[in-house]
Amino acid sequence: MTVLPALISQHFQTDRGPLGVAVSGGSDSLALLHLMADWGGAPLRCVTVDHRLRAASGPEAAQVAAICASLGIAHDTLTWDGWDGRGNLAATARAARYALMAAWAHEHGLSGVALGHTRDDVAETLLMRLARRAGVDGLAAMPARRREGGVTLHRPLLAAGRGELRAYLEARGATWIDDPSNSDGRYRRTLARRALTALEPVGISAQALADVAAHMAEARGTLGHYAAQEARALVAVQHGDLLMPADAFARLRPDIARRILSAGLRWITGAGYGARGPDLDRLLAAIASGRGGTLGGCHVSLSGNTLRVAREFAAVRHCTAAPGTPWDGRWDLNGPHLPDAELRALGAEGRAACPAWRETGLPAQSVQTLPAVWQGDTLIAAPLAGDANGWTARLRRDATDLQAMLLSH
């Protein structure tokens, strides 16, 4: 049996800032709350996200608040009612939950948020991803730490089993909430949980699958290391575009090429997750045929021996920002104070007003996605297209950030 308190102290031995704890009231998160409270190594604040998908969710959040009050820990309930009945409910709710928790953590000055994921979650996730024919990245174990919305999400209990946590709660006389959706056969995770129970007699246990996931995580790290090395040698940045020699890119091992392209798309868009595997494979096939294409708000083109990954104009056509704030999440523009000034994409009309744009060495399509300063329909400045007019533009990330993406998980 795992020594549960040691998992907490070991995970947080270098994290001493105020921490959040996400608690739904289920056994895993409730055990995490008690373990964190007993640890006492950092100030704590608890959060429950009420998705308002069940009538009992409100009272359950109130029950968690009462438990926190008995432990002397501040508690907040965040509500989400954004489900419109379309798409994947679990994925949509998860994304909303993380976004709400990240904003909450920033509001309260928390250095991170602890989550109650366990070894069983790792095993169930691996089974679900096997069904989707996932590759190395999809089958790799959940990371113990992950950045989400500028906040570190902590998973200190990945080496613990759900049974251990329930035994721990029973020993201290604590009760937990059983979410009925956990036994609802309409959900893939419920089916994975049942399948895991059925597989145990042949030795395919939660521990065995967690070990496989750990091996996959090691392989993922190795592939990321070599992808970062190749990117360091091949990739150049030109006014926010990524350039690579097309012949050298074509000679890369397929998985390394896929990783560099996926990271390049994220580097440009700032997306938290990479493109879907089938979509990425289609784009790679188009590159191999010399056609290029678009994906996730980016345009990939080939000219001579240059492979260019750039922002797609349609993705920034309506993007606006006030001077002094980031535009498209990646550009900072600074210059003279002007009333009613606005940052927008240069576009075709703005490019036509900047005859020096050709000196940038960028294709017209890339020039049109550059940030510019506008007052209404009047172009004031386009510092990256040869019309600075007292303004400067700075890209918020560089090639080292691309390499970091390849190394991180």
In this structure, are 160 and 245 located in the same domain? no
29 annotated to a ligand binding site: yes
Same domain, 192 and 260: no
Of 116, 131, 153, 149, nearest in space to 35 by CA: 116
pLDDT of residue 81: 79
Sort 356 into a burial class: Cβ within 10 Å, 0-12 / 13-18 / 19+: exposed
Same domain, 21 and 119: yes
Task: Give every CB contact of residue 193 below 8 A, 6+ residues apart in sequence.
Answer: 120, 124, 182
333 with 196, same domain: the answer is no
pLDDT in tens, 191-240: 888 988 899 899 999 999 999 999 999 999 999 999 999 999 999 999 99
pLDDT for 103 equals: 95
Buried b (16+ CB within 10 A) or exposed e, 236-264: eeebbbbbbbbeebeebeeebbbbbbbbb
Asked if 174 and 290 sit in the same domain, the reply is no
Mean pLDDT of the residues in the chain: 92
Q: What single string gives the DSSP state of each residue in 7-54?
A: HHHHHTTT--S-EEEE--SSHHHHHHHHHHHHH-SS-EEEEEEE---S
My answer on whether 159 and 286 are in the same domain is no
> Would you say 24 is a known binding-site residue?
yes
Mean pLDDT value across residues 275-279: 88
pLDDT, position 409: 63
CB-based contact 157:28 (threshold 8 Å)? yes
User: In the predicted model, what is the mean pLDDT of residues 116-126?
Assistant: 95
Same domain, 121 and 159: yes
332 is in an annotated binding site: no
Residue 336 CA, chain-centre distance (Å), reads: 36
pLDDT band at 180 (very low <50, low <70, confident <90, very high): low
Residue 26, annotated as binding a ligand? yes
The answer, yes or no, to whether residue 185 has pLDDT greater than 70, is no
> Which pLDDT score, from 0 to 100, does residue 295 have?
97
Q: Show the tokens assigned to 354.
A: 């900047």
- 370-395 pLDDT, tens per residue? 999 999 999 999 999 999 999 999 99
The secondary structure of 106-144 as a DSSP string is HHTT-SEEE----HHHHHHHHHHHHHTT--HHHHSPPPS
Q: In this structure, are strands 293-295 and 44-50 parallel, antiparallel, or unpaired? A: unpaired
**What's the average model confidence in pLDDT over 37-49?**
95
| Per-residue model confidence (pLDDT) at position 52 | 79
Strand, coil or helix: 392? strand
Q: Are residues 191 and 125 in the same domain?
A: yes
Share of the chain above pLDDT 70, in %: 96
Token pair of 348 as six digits: 């075709």
- Residue 227 falls inside a structural domain: no
Q: Which residues pair with 333 in a beta bridge?
A: 393
Q: Is residue 195 part of a domain?
A: yes
CATH (domain of 151): 3.40.50.620
Q: 356 and 274 in one domain?
A: yes
Does 377 carry a binding-site annotation? no
Same domain, 181 and 262: no
Least confident of 14-28, 223-237, 293-307: 14-28
Domain boundary among 159, 180, 212: 212
Answer yes or no: do 280 and 153 share one domain: no
Note whether residue 221 is domain-resident. Answer: no
CA dihedral 178→179→184→190, nearest 10 degrees, is -80
pLDDT, residue 207, reads 94
Tell whether 61 is covered by a domain: yes
- Count structural domains, the chain: 2
Lowest mean pLDDT among 196-210, 242-256, 303-317: 196-210
Let me know whether 247 and 132 are in one domain: no
Reported as half-sphere exposure (CB side, CA atoms, 13 A), residue 216 has a value of 22
25 labelled binding-site residue: yes
Three-state SS at 227: helix
pLDDT digits (tens, 9 = 90+) for 91-120: 788 888 999 999 999 999 999 999 999 999
Tokens of 264: 């390049």
Q: Which range is least confidently modeled, 1-10, 20-29, 150-159?
A: 1-10
Across the range 354-368, mean pLDDT stands at: 95
> Domain range spanning residue 357?
235-409
